[in-house]
Amino acid sequence: MSQNIAKYVEQIVSKLTGNNGLIEQFKKNPAKIVTDILGIKLDANVLQSVIKAVQGKLNLEDVAKNAGGILAKLKALFGKK
């Protein structure tokens, strides 16, 4: 079952990545977006696991983007390119 969850998470994250409108919809109603993207209805426990995993991945991507921006600012501050 966990292999399916990982597969679902990767599928959803790939659809959400770079699509800010869809990400906002996911934040408002994650269960609907997961169901819409996968095209199947998941068991409630599996659905919650998938939602939490996707939220975690999206948060990590946000952290990575912010870290890159901070690094660029620090380099500019110290005159490095």
- Give the pLDDT of residue 6: 93
Give the pTM.
0.72
- Enter the DSSP assignment of 41: P
Instruction: Tell me the pLDDT band of 62, cut-offs 50, 70 and 90.
Output: low
Query: How far from the centroid of its chain's Cα atoms is residue 61's Cα?
Result: 7
CA atoms within 13 A on the CB side of 22: 14
- Give the pLDDT of residue 61: 67
- Give the pLDDT of residue 43: 93
| pLDDT tens digits, one per residue of 7-55 | 999 999 999 988 989 999 999 999 999 999 999 999 999 999 999 999 9
